[in-house]
Amino acid sequence: MPATDGAGVELVRMIGQPSLDMLDPFLLLDAFRSDNPDDYIAGFPPHPHRGFETVTYLLNGRMRHKDNTGREGVIEPGGIQWMTAGRGIVHSEMPEQEDGLLEGFQLWVNLPADHKMDQPGYQEYSAEHIPLETRDGAEVRVITGTTCQGTSGPVVQPLTEPLYLDVSLQPGKAFKEMIDREHNAFIYGIEGETLVESTASDTATVGKDQLAILSQGDEVRVTAGDHGSRFLLISGKPLREAVVRGGPFVMNTHQQLRQAMLDYQSGNF
């Protein structure tokens, strides 16, 4: 669903919209890609979060972030920022460029009820600190989780045990990866076509800018189309808890949501 967020940034909302409200523990997935500065230059001025994590992964462009603790930095191509909002943080994300291509994703990951009021924190890594696993015809950037070949990403989150892979496949090449049977998982197509095997011994094609929800199973098997493919493979442990949302706050009860709003308005973040 096309959407506008922040101070007018144009994006496409894949998770967190009427046809896919959430995929527990994933609350939202936004994709943005534009070389028109009017689509992104206004950025995301200071705004609050509580009760979940925001994950920003850039493919192209540069984004500067600041928060109310004094922390500041720049996310560059291939870099990841995994921010745990916890009990509350106010931050901004502004393009560190006036023209050129800005492309990437923001994923929201829920936190369990017992950890919604944890201290805020970051796990930030540039492209050179994200392991690149090579297989026959495949390159796999491992952001979090451990692949079936034993490569582990630098981001660690035992609460939801996420797997976040950026996979590039040469034309016609196959790729397989183990997935925890109890986890929810999806594939998002970045480039080309990805043919996903199903339990009925046929395939489903995931094209560019399409999201496919995977059924429960132990392994995902895909093959790249004639022009190769690139896709995100993401999975996580569902929390199976009540979710009450109010803009940038995600809690378990309406009372907690009202308290989050009061705390923010009172300057208690």
Q: Provide mean pLDDT across the span 17-38.
A: 94
CA 193 to chain centre: 20
Q: Provide mean pLDDT across the span 18-45.
A: 93
Model pLDDT, residue 38: 86
Same domain assignment for residues 124 and 6? yes
Same domain assignment for residues 13 and 90? yes
Task: Indicate whether 1 pLDDT > 80.
Answer: yes
Query: Quick count: other Cβ atoms within 10 Å of Cβ 98?
Result: 7
Domain annotation covers residue 209: yes
Residues 40-70: tens digit of each pLDDT:
888 889 999 999 999 999 999 999 999 998 8
Same domain assignment for residues 12 and 77? yes
Task: Indicate whether 199 pLDDT > 80.
Answer: no
Same domain assignment for residues 108 and 223? no
Domain annotation covers residue 226: yes
Same domain assignment for residues 140 and 53? no
Residues 97-147: tens digit of each pLDDT:
889 999 999 999 999 999 999 999 999 999 999 999 999 999 999 999 999
| Residue numbers of the domain that contains 34 | 2-128
Domain annotation covers residue 251: no
Task: Indicate whether 200 pLDDT > 70.
Answer: no
CB neighbour class for 119 (10 Å; exposed up to 12, middle 13-18, buried from 19)? exposed
Same domain assignment for residues 10 and 122? yes
- Domain final residue, candidates 128, 150, 184: 128
- Count of domains for the chain: 2
Same domain assignment for residues 187 and 83? no
Q: Provide mean pLDDT across the span 67-76.
A: 91
